[in-house]
A and B are shown apart, each in its own frame.
Chain A
């Protein structure tokens, strides 16, 4: 109890982040600007693991931890595909997951976008040629944007999301 009271009244201790120098903050603010323009302040992402090695999931989870806290920039991970603007797919699509991947995509409201995260989902991984996988995400779904990496670091994912937003703001002629 005394801890809670002390926490409320004591001086706040938190390192100051300078948004003009840190890469993550710069990218975050760019992303936020795009998100405000296109999606009216919030970009809802549904993550779907179609057969990754779990490292991409860990990095996506890390985006919500204190060091990054991606929600400040208007990006949230949602529980249902029915609430999502973007389907973020990680890992090569396994034969066992094919049906679930297609059903998840079908459950999304339109318009919607698909982003492949990680080398396997981008179709460049080590698993090509295995009986167990169909290949990259674009073998099953229309992929709009790719963020490669094994796995991409949180900053790279943010930069990827910012470039994705740019790409949908300037549709190709």
Chain B
């Protein structure tokens, strides 16, 4: 389908005397090179298709010296490769496409921070990931010398949006929160108890992973990818490995992908169980939450049995898996899942019978379905608001093609919808795991390969949604690595979801999203 879109786009650009050059990437994705000012015309044309979403913008040093290129990635809501448009940047200036695709704002702010690019007419030019501790003219991806950074503390203050009026007051929260949570700042403007506006400020955990990866071997960067977000270790390692394997043209043994699928679904399972428990804790129902905490702990112990790590770290490596999982163990796990699934259903039905819990969840924190496309939302957050896409189907990988599983979709967009979507996804993960174990083939779990050179995009469905890794490798060394986690696009949805809710409901709304701070800040 994307080929029809691409051909249409090329014809359109030609009619406007804009030249474009087409090529296929190692990962099967389409690349379309356009001149720097052609991107507005192209984006405008693409925006006519309602099933097309902007899923990422990133800058990459060009093949020639001192030249930057901007990559714009688009996805169709049907099984089809991604379209990546490449536009050359002239004089460090590029047009902002936020008026056509609103999700572009944060991508462009990120590229602005990292490369010092000037996006004309970008409405928000505050820094996104680099805070006051960094000098205004420091751009890590081009100034490679961290020695220029002193350890001086901030002198200027970040300018939050100002709201004034009778009875309106502000509640600043964070970066250090009261619970055991990651750091981030929330600035609430409140009237009485009702939230009038929320402004997020993240980036506190910015560790500079992308820059750190440059010049490292693929094995080293694979380790780094596991620390993007601790509870998404498997999916990030798998996304990175998939990109490496696409570049190398490596063929994996079937068993490697079957075991990877099991691990990826175990990650989704323990992650969702934690979210379900968290939501119940945040409405003051610890009795209801305990069964989910117990179930999650059991899966984490199985993680450790299978891989040696409770977070599945070190298991997935480019070329397959670092170690095999015994068939006997898998059968035991499959047997365990039968009672596990019964206990999970019991815990869920207990929640359903607690009318007051449902009352707290219902109509709380609504993300309206109209927001899904402009904000480029994905994962359970989008599927609770009527979006029926899932990367496992749109960009299928591994053994998912041959599996039967349901992808739950709800339309109300409230906390209850997200609770239900996550609960049903957890059940669907159990089915996938059982079915994969039942048909697991014998054989090796690793095949050696020569990393080679090239570039490729890899997209996987993380527990939180669409996970994108874009990689350029030269002779086995990483030249450029770009990561867009689902959290990056989904965070702004919270600003919309909380409006007109009461401040005490914020924790449960936030937990129903359960986005990653580390995965956003990189």
Contacts and interface: CB of A to CB of B under 8 A. Distances in A.
A158 B377 CA distance: 39
A19 interface: no
A5 to B, nearest CB: 14
Nearest to B179: A79
Interface stretch (A27-35, A55-63, A165-173): A55-63
B231 A55 contact: yes
B153 interface: yes
A53 B204 contact: no
Contact of A97 (B140, B175, B178, B233): B175
B235 to A, nearest CB: 13
Contacts of A67: 293-294, 297
Contacts of A133: 207-208
A98 B133 contact: yes
Given A48-B176, A53-B518, A131 B140 contact: yes
A99 B183 CA distance: 12
B207 A99 contact: no
B134 A95 contact: yes
Given A48-B176, A52-B518, A99-B153, A132 B231 contact: no
Contacts of A153: 304, 310
B338 interface: no
Contact of A54 (B130, B146, B182, B296): B182
B175 A65 contact: no
Interface residues of B, number: 57
Interface in A144-160: 150-151, 153
B133 A130 contact: no
A129 B224 CA distance: 13
A51 B212 CA distance: 15
B211 A66 contact: no
A61 B205 contact: no
Contacts of A48: 176
A96 B204 contact: yes
A126 B225 CA distance: 11
A98 B154 CA distance: 10
B182 A49 contact: yes
A9 to B, nearest CB: 16
B516 interface: yes
Among A58, A120, A153, the one with the most B-chain Cβ atoms within 10 Å of its Cβ is A58
B205 A91 contact: yes
A157 to B, nearest CB: 12
Contacts of A66: 290, 293-294, 297
A150 B223 CA distance: 11
B151 A134 contact: yes
B175 A100 contact: yes
Given A66-B290, A67-B297, A151-B311, A54 B208 contact: no
A127 B207 contact: yes
B208 A57 contact: no
A132 B207 contact: yes
Contacts of A85: none
Nearest to B278: A61
B181 A49 contact: yes
Which of the listed residues B179, B182, B183, B223 has the most CB atoms from chain A within 10 Å of its own CB?
A: B183
B230 A53 contact: yes
B205 A104 contact: no
Contacts of B228: 53
Contacts of B211: 130-132
A96 B149 contact: no
A80 B293 CA distance: 25
A97 B521 CA distance: 12
A119 to B, nearest CB: 10
B133 A54 contact: no
A133 B227 CA distance: 14
Most A Cβ at <10 Å: residue of B151, B175, B274: B175
Most chain-B Cβ atoms within 10 A of its Cβ — which of A130, A131, A133, A134? A131
B483 to A, nearest CB: 13
Contacts of B310: 59, 153
B245 to A, nearest CB: 22
B351 to A, nearest CB: 12
Nearest to A61: B180
A73 interface: no
Interface string B203-238: 111111101100000001001101111110100000
13 contacts: A3-B350, A53-B227, A54-B516, A57-B180, A57-B182, A58-B231, A58-B311, A92-B207, A97-B183, A130-B212, A151-B230, A151-B311, A153-B304
Which 9 A-B residue pairs are closest in the complex by CB-CB distance?
A: A55-B230, A132-B208, A79-B178, A131-B146, A65-B293, A53-B230, A130-B208, A53-B227, A54-B230
Given A58-B274, A65-B293, A65-B296, 7 more contacts: A54-B231, A67-B293, A98-B133, A125-B227, A132-B209, A133-B207, A150-B309
